Structure 1
Amino acid sequence: MERACQWVSFMRPWIRAKEAISHYYGRNTRKYEILWRIIDRRWTNQLQQPIHALAYFLNLKFYLSDSFRDDEEVMAGVFACIDKMAPNRELRDKVLDELEIYKGAEGRLFSSQQAIDRREKQQSDLWWENYGADMPNSQKKAIRVLSQPCSASGCERSWSLFENIHTKKRNRLT
């Protein structure tokens, strides 16, 4: 199976679904390749976006966990979002300088014991609002990204598509 994207935790069910399809068809690629292409297209178009990489990176529950991966894909998404959200060079430079504070978990408020204790217990956008003052430019961007409401509409569309693939009629076909 191709290299899986590591930075979105809900990717695992998609990988398991692809493995189950592969197993069901006896690993005969010709029989299931169209299904895999549909799944991959949905993943790429709906979920594998730079904004998701930035949210993953800015969420301290993920960033400071042992399973965090700041691979090339994540950082490409982070930098793509910084380019869009900080259109002028001066602001972009400030945000990139603050990125070093973030990566090192430095700063007066950021590294305080209270901030450390609240990382797991508080919503990420509220945490940034309370403890991100050492990085004012990044703080604004982090709050903006992390306070976005989530929508399941993309997932619902995908499940509707999967229901069309997995029907009683198709189950009986060999």
Structure 2
Amino acid sequence: MHGCSIMPDGWTDREKLFELLDSLVDEIGEEHVVQVVTDNGSNHVATGKMLMEKRRHLYWTSCAAHCIGLMLEDIGKIPLVKNTIRRDVALVGYIYSHTFTLSLLRSFTKKKELMRPAITRFATSFLSLERIHKQKDNLRKMFTCDEWVQNKLSKDAKEREATKTVMMPSFWRHVVFILKVMAPLVRVLRLVDSEKKPAMGYIYEAMETAKETIMKSFSNNEQRYANIFKIIDDRWNYQLHRPLHAAGHILNPDIFYENKRLEFDREVTNRFI
């Protein structure tokens, strides 16, 4: 066998999985194994790291969609992001939990919804934030209109909290911040999870473009996005930033002929070689 990729099924015991993969590499011959591919489960990630520490020339890579999903999940743990998403979930949940509030919402938004499921939980959160931001003015009108103020629901604690959220300037500023950060990464997630176009030759470019978009959205003020880039780089550099993706990048005519200087990019060409 030559140029093999080893891809394990789901396992919960990392030690057993490591022993199995290690023995397979010996059986096939280390010189014939190109890479080990796993999903992003914690046990598989730990096994991949263990294998790379022992077999220095092996590449470990993981499912791109899971990796981007984990970037979004890590960003979701930042207190500002976490609290904003929590407020959004409470607001949307409250509106959709009552027939009256849902009917009132649809009358103001012309039946445009605030909820839409997506690939991952945090992509769903992004889409929800994107939708409520588009309906910001309508939501504010809804929570201050006579029909709402005169309804008995407007007097309970959850309603007061929902109204507070909608009228809070800092909440909307934080929503804009999250959209600037998450939108480019969600676009990458859609690319790698799509079956319409092979993602291999586009992942490298997509991640570079995503980071450039984030930088521009904050006017290249590094202080505003430094912690976001650390999260992205920690996942990208360790799990997906592989020579295989650099090769797919430079061999993609769609990208190569659009960027005449790509062949002089030392990082790309070195990884390609």
TM-score by length of 1: 0.31
Q: Which of the pair is proportionally richer in helix?
A: 2
Larger RCO, structures 1/2 (Cα 8 Å, 6+ apart): 1
Task: From the CA coordinates, give the structure whose radius of gyration is larger.
Answer: 2
TM-score of the two chains, using structure 2 as the length reference: 0.21
Structure 1 or 2: more strand by fraction: 2
